Chain A
Amino acid sequence: MGDKENETTLPGPFPPQGKKPLQKDNQHMSQPTSGNTPTNTPMIVCEGIYKWFDDFCALRNVHLTVARQEVIVILGPSGSGKSTLIRTMNRLEKHDKGRILIDGTELTDDIRKIQEVRREVGMVFQQFNLFPHLTVLDNITLAPRHVRRMPKKDAEAQAIELLTRVQIPQQAHKYPGQLSGGQQQRVAIARALAMEPKVMLFDEPTSALDPEMIKEVLDVITDLAESGMTMIVVSHEMGFARAAANRVVFMDAGEIVEVNTPDRFFSQPQEERAKTFLSQIL
């Protein structure tokens, strides 16, 4: 559809002045959210990640380091391995080679390590994946109650708070099937936030939405970025990438082709493949 053209040529809904300061070279800065954890270590380290699906090489030699509070937007043509990459970061996909460290914990076959990482990493899916048999409130309180062992009352109070933050507190007792796509995705964000994650992964969060609902979801994600959450967002929303990202990662054919600031990536991309990609979508 033609919306993408509009979003990149016209000023998008996300004015660049709202962008938070770039955090270069992992310099430590005041960290209101992460308490006593060391602030100068990177949040995510990927070293030489390879992933095969049978004979198809989905990720080849991916190196990526994400600092605390950094917002990364991954762009690239479909089938380039964007989703696969972030799905290896909470072990929804097992990487075949290389090392992945999330906040210092290495992802291996050790199931306890995997659970530890999953507790700290929130994920939002393209298809929302809300649990249809549970109300909105139960969707959000499920993991805090059963994984964090939070008492029901506390979990529900927190859920209402989160629903207020994503601006749908009045839908708490409905079922996901009764909500619009945009509302469902905002519930999904609230559900991930209820685990108080250190990192949020967004796998094409607006790709399954009707055009008029994209903005309400992107607004929530942008707010979250401004609050200092470390985030990796796979997206086709160029306006969002410009406004919210600290760095843009461009992938093609399973490789990271270019990593750049959004301003420079969109105005003067360095790599030939990035130029071709941008020329196709702009």
Chain B
Amino acid sequence: MAAIQPSPSSNDLQPPYTRTTPLSWVLQNLFNNWYNTVFTLFFGVILSYAAYRGLRFFFVTARWEIVETNLTNLMVGQFPRNELERVWAALFLLGGSGGFIAGQAKQLSTQDPTSPPPSPGREQILDFVRRAWPFTILVLFLLRLSRSTTIMLLILALVALTGAGRLIGARIPGASPKRITIFALATACATLLLLLFNGPPSQEWGGLLLTVFLSTVSILASFPLGILLALGRRSSLPAIRFVCVGYIEVIRGVPLITLLLLSTILKLFLPPNSFDPNDITRAAVVLALFTAAYVAEIMRGGFQAIPQGQIEAAQALGLVPIQTIRLIGLPQAIRKVVPALVGQFISLLKDTSLVSIIGLSDILKVSRSFTSQDDFVGKGLTAETLAAACLVYWALCFTMSKESKRLEERLGVGER
């Protein structure tokens, strides 16, 4: 054995300090040997060229006037122009109460003794920028095209209202999960009322409004339905199990387009002469039923990943089966499948573009219709309209994906 070492001083216990300058990072990671240098140069040239062409199209050659003229169509389709106040009112309602809910949730999390101490203001602002930049790009792009002072003022007011809601929410004491849920439900009902009560007929809905409406409704409906199906599939009662497995396998075995085309027969399943669902309702029902089958399989994976010991511990404590599922099974299963679940919902959002097959004008359908207008027909402006639709989809999906990552990090607290 070697002689006794002197005990390490506090300096020795620090990890070795290495300073990384941008130059040293580039040398270490991009040019560290001959073949990496070749790769770097090769892909560097290709990427720079692609970026140059892309940016040039976006900022120089693109003739955005086709989107500019049709901006309202892109947002709401054929929604009657004299009823647009409804949409704005709904936006303000969602912004204000969304901010309020965020504030209350923040308050709730700071009350929780397990939460990390609040980060300094600068961190919070940076954090907000990291969260909101894709959406901000979209809004700036649309504002740039609209060139309308009124709309810019409205958007500013919306942002201000959301911020005010956030501040008020953080200040009004007594936040509770119950209050937040009630508030969210009330907001949802009020929004629907604003848009639907005595409103324009459903076939006039379109554009981004339709896309967002369809995805929100089907996400909210498919999630609980999928959980029930997953639980049914694991049920000890053969009849329930059989029905759930049958449902899941039939739905997963048929393309979404086919189901949408079949949606006309939906009313065969309703009591005769009761209620004739319109196209939008039918599309929302089909999207929800379709996604529910996939959510069910994702949730089943989550439930199966829970160790048997967790269920036994809950049983041994005297929890009844429904409490075991609600308090132990579901929270753990959801934590395990957040990424897959959000992936499914992103996929759903993009699949709403298929509703054009039954004659609905979602954002993609609307944007494709611009090129056949009298002013633009035969001018080859497809790229501009599709690029605008792409930007909208991307901003929505990327925001969902970022929020999912955040959620994962927050739910993972304390888990090894």
Q: A243 an interface residue at 8 Å Cβ cutoff? A: no
Chain A, residues 106-142, CB within 8 Å of chain B (1/0): the string is 0000000001001101110101011111010000001
Is B312 within 8 A of A192, CB to CB?
A: no
B-contacting residues of A (Cβ < 8 Å)? Answer: 90, 92, 115, 118-119, 121-123, 125, 127, 129-133, 135, 142-143, 146-147, 173-178, 191-192, 195
Among B309, B323, B332, B414, the residue within 8 A (CB) of A125 is B309
Task: List the B residue with the shortest CB-CB distance to A145.
Answer: B327
A-contacting residues of B (Cβ < 8 Å)? Answer: 113-114, 307, 309-310, 312-320, 323, 327-328, 331-332, 335, 411, 413-416
Residue contacts A-B, CB under 8 angstroms, 14 given: A118-B317, A118-B318, A119-B318, A123-B316, A125-B309, A125-B312, A129-B310, A131-B310, A131-B314, A133-B331, A142-B319, A142-B327, A147-B317, A177-B416
Q: How many A-B residue pairs have CB under 8 A?
A: 76
Minimum CB–CB distance from A199 to chain B (whole Å) comes to 12
Among A132, A135, A174, A192, the residue within 8 A (CB) of B317 is A192
If A133-B332, A133-B335 touch, whether A146 touches B310 (CB-CB below 8 Å) is: no
Is B332 within 8 A of A132, CB to CB?
A: yes
- Chain B interface, DSSP helix/strand/loop, else mixed: helix
Among B307, B314, B331, B414, the residue within 8 A (CB) of A178 is B414
Minimum CB–CB distance from A11 to chain B (whole Å) comes to 34
Minimum CB–CB distance from B117 to chain A (whole Å) comes to 13
List residues of chain A with CB within 8 A of the CB of B331: 133
Is A143 within 8 A of B414, CB to CB?
A: no
Q: A119-B318, A123-B316 are in contact. List 11 more A-B contacts (CB 8 A).
A: A92-B315, A115-B320, A125-B316, A127-B309, A130-B313, A131-B328, A132-B332, A132-B415, A143-B317, A174-B114, A178-B414
Is A125 within 8 A of B317, CB to CB?
A: no
Is B319 within 8 A of A147, CB to CB?
A: yes
Minimum CB–CB distance from A179 to chain B (whole Å) comes to 10
Is B317 within 8 A of A175, CB to CB?
A: no
Q: How far is A119 from B113 in the complex, measured between Cα atoms in Å? A: 30
List residues of chain A with CB within 8 A of the CB of B312: 92, 125, 129
List residues of chain A with CB within 8 A of the CB of B320: 115
Q: How far is A135 from B112 in the complex, measured between Cα atoms in Å? A: 11
Task: List the B residue with the shortest CB-CB distance to A188.
Answer: B313
Among B113, B318, B413, B415, the residue within 8 A (CB) of A143 is B318
In the A-B complex, the 8 residue pairs with the smallest Cβ-Cβ separation, listed nearest first, are: A175-B414, A129-B313, A177-B416, A143-B317, A123-B316, A129-B309, A119-B318, A118-B318
